[in-house]
Structures are given as C-alpha cells and as structure tokens.
Amino acid sequence: MSNLAAALAIEGCELGDVARLKVFYKSDGSRDEWEILGALVRHFEQDPLPAITLHPVPLQPFSGQELQIQAIAMRGWRSNADHRVVTGDVPAKYRQLFAHRKVTLGLRAGEFIAVPGRTAVDDQAQVLAKDNGIEQTQIVMSRLEATLKELGASFQDCIKKEGYYFGKTQEQWEGMARTRASFFREPGPVATVVPCHALWPAGALTKVEVLAMRERWNGFDKYIPRDDRWPRRVWDWPVPLPYRQGIRLRDTIWLGGQVPWATDSNAGRVVLPGQVLAQTQFTMSYIDDLLSAFGRSTSDLRLVVAYFTSNGTEAETRSFLQTLATCIPGPLPPMTVVPQPYMHTKEMTVEIWGVARG
C-alpha cells in the first residue's frame, strides 16, 4: 500500500482517490479473505471504501511475492456531487477488523461505476448452490444487476466484464458463459474470463466483476454511446456471445481478453499450441490490430493485464515480460501479470487485455 500511495502521488493522486482496487493474493483458497480485506481497509481513512476485489492465485510473478495490487483512481471523486455507493455489512465475527465500517458493493464516481467481484455466498460467507456452476453464475449475475440498478445503471452500461471459473473443458466454460451472456444484449461490453485454481470460500465455482460508465444529464441518468471496432482478422467466440473486442468511450479504449485463436474464425482453433512466448507475440498482434482500428497502437496502452501459463519461476516471468516488451514500443505501461499453472487448455497458454489512450 505504501508503494501504491507513492505511485498515485506521481499522478497527483492519493489513496483516497482510488475508486477500484484489485488484489491478487497467493493462496490455495483456504486463506480467509475477510482478514486480508480488514488489513487493506485500514489504509483508507474515508468512507465509502473503494470497490475492492480480492482474488486468490496459486502463483505470483516474483520470488517471495505474496500479493500484487492494481488500482483505478479518479482525482477528487469524493468532492464530486454525483457519487453514489451501495454498501454491505461485514459478517459479525469480523466487524472489529473493520472498526464497524461497511464494505462497498458498488461505487459510482461521476460517470465511472465499479462493482467488485462477487461469488455466490450468503451474508455469512456460506456458499450457495454448491457444485452447480451455472446456478452460482445466475446468482452472481443477478446480484451484480441489482447493484448496478441501485447506482442508476444496467448491464448495458458496462464497458468491461472480468470473471473467473473452475473448469478445464469447453463444456465447463460454455454453460457458465451462456448464463453470463444471457444478462447482456448486443452490443455488450468487452470481456475477460479465465480459469481459476482457487476461490474463497471453498465451494465457490465462479467470480464476476464489472466496470461501467453512465452520465448524468438534465437530472437523468443516460446511456453513453460508445464506438466499437472488430477487425475481421480478430477471432470470434465458438458460441454466440454479445461481447465486443474493443470499445472506445470518453477517449479511452477498453479491450477484451485476447487469446491465440485462429484469425477470422469462430472455430476456437489454437495457434502455436503450448508455446507461451510465441503465443504472447501472436496475441499481442490482435491487440495491435484492435488499437489500429481506432487509430492507435500498442504504444498508447495505459494498462496491460496478462495471464500466462507458468511453473511459478521468476525466470519464466522475466522471459514473458521481455517478450511483451518487444510488442510495446517505448516505456511499458502499468502492468499486472498473473502466472497460472493452467490456462483454458494445455494448448492455449495466454490471455491479455488492456486499456489504451483513445
């Protein structure tokens, strides 16, 4: 958190300007997230708290590393007359850790909306619909929808959906994917959903979070039109889904998670199977295609989030980062890199998305 505060200060911000915080922490899924969250919130003096997503991962990029933290900040949002929050109670046994403060289930800071990752649990963190990923997905998406509604928005305002699921086959992915998709209509947001190897509490099978934008106009909440691009070379999903691959809104370009599937195809055929570094370069070529369609390039990236297959060694992380660096001219943007023991399949070893200057 000290490092985060220092990085924010370079941009004229402070911890109080953070609207959305995402934490990848090392765990097999048994570590109690309420304890980690309680330690985090002590660093935020003001209420409401940011929208915070905690996500357990078995690996970290560097030796001895236990967590990495990613933040989206908006300078001075707390003094903006139009900020709204949906809060939730902390379970009774943890309330002292939080000094009896409430957690944020959804935050609207002006036009920007963040709804943190949700799993299908009850108020006491007990898992609902055990062993049923589709039913858990339905529960999670319904709760996200209700939170967006309280913030004056809907799924149609979403610009980014991120999710995690347990599974190693297309069949496991497809059932939950169709359920998530049923809550959107075309054109939907850009999306990234990757396999997970741990979730808390035990029995949770999926986690989903969304970012959205909606404006206030003459006293009413209004949809903000967005521009989207989908070059024919860029792949499509093997099942009908409402998502887009690239969206430009308010001079910012949001990208969906890019994977090494064959060009101009919805066959789901993997290119360069099992070759992490070669697939990284190939996947980055899709990101370059998408940005070129908006008149931009990879040098305009302002955030890169990359998941890649790894045995967990620092040397693999360094090789991966060196390969990414060959695809991004000039200084690298802020990056979150998440090594994974296993990605979608043994053949598909990488998924990358980003945000660029529009």
Picking from 159, 191, 225, the residue at the C-terminal end of a domain is: 225
Together in a domain, 177 and 251: no
pLDDT at 305: 98
pLDDT at 4: 97
Nearest Cα to 318, choosing from 353, 277, 288, 347? 277
Range of the domain at 253: 226-358
Q: Could you give the number of structural domains in the chain?
A: 2
- Report the DSSP pairing between strands 18-26 and 67-73: antiparallel
Q: Is 285 exposed, middle or buried (0-12, 13-18, 19+ CB in 10 A)?
A: middle
Distance CA 319, CA 310 (A): 11
| 204's tokens | 């949770």
Together in a domain, 245 and 203: no
The DSSP result for 252-307, as a single string, is: EEEEPPB--BPTT-SS-PBSSTT-HHHHHHHHHHHHHHHHHHTT--GGGEEEEEEE
Distance CA 46, CA 334 (A): 26
Q: Are 55 and 38 in contact (CB under 8 A)?
A: no
Picking from 174, 196, 225, the residue at the C-terminal end of a domain is: 225
- What is the chain's mean pLDDT, rounded? 96
Question: Looking at residue 190, which CATH number applies to its domain?
Answer: 3.30.1330.40
Together in a domain, 147 and 132: yes
Q: Are 86 and 106 in contact (CB under 8 A)?
A: yes
pLDDT at 172: 83
Together in a domain, 63 and 190: yes
**Could you tell me the pTM of the whole model?**
0.96
170 falls in which pLDDT band (50, 70, 90)? Answer: confident
Together in a domain, 59 and 135: yes
Together in a domain, 98 and 73: yes
Picking from 207, 225, 243, the residue at the C-terminal end of a domain is: 225
Together in a domain, 94 and 107: yes
Q: Where are the alpha helices (DSSP H) in 160-256?
A: 170-181
- Report the DSSP pairing between strands 301-309 and 350-357: antiparallel
Q: Are 136 and 128 in contact (CB under 8 A)?
A: yes
Query: DSSP 3-state assignment of 112?
Result: strand
Number of residues in the chain: 358
pLDDT at 169: 77
Together in a domain, 108 and 180: yes
**pLDDT for 168 beyond 90:** no
Together in a domain, 134 and 159: yes
pLDDT at 81: 76
Together in a domain, 184 and 330: no
Report pLDDT digits (tens) over 81-106: 789 999 999 999 899 999 999 999 99
- CB 249: neighbour CB atoms within 10 A? 16
Distance CA 278, CA 291 (A): 20
Report pLDDT digits (tens) over 285-333: 999 999 999 999 999 999 999 999 999 999 999 999 999 999 999 999 9
Report pLDDT digits (tens) over 18-77: 999 999 999 999 999 999 999 999 999 999 999 999 999 999 999 999 999 999 999 999
pLDDT at 82: 87
Amino acid symbol at 89? D
pLDDT at 2: 97
Together in a domain, 115 and 159: yes
pLDDT at 124: 81
Q: Which residues lie below 8 Å from residue 8, measured CB to CB, with a gap of 6+? A: 14, 15, 17, 18, 71, 73
Together in a domain, 341 and 206: no
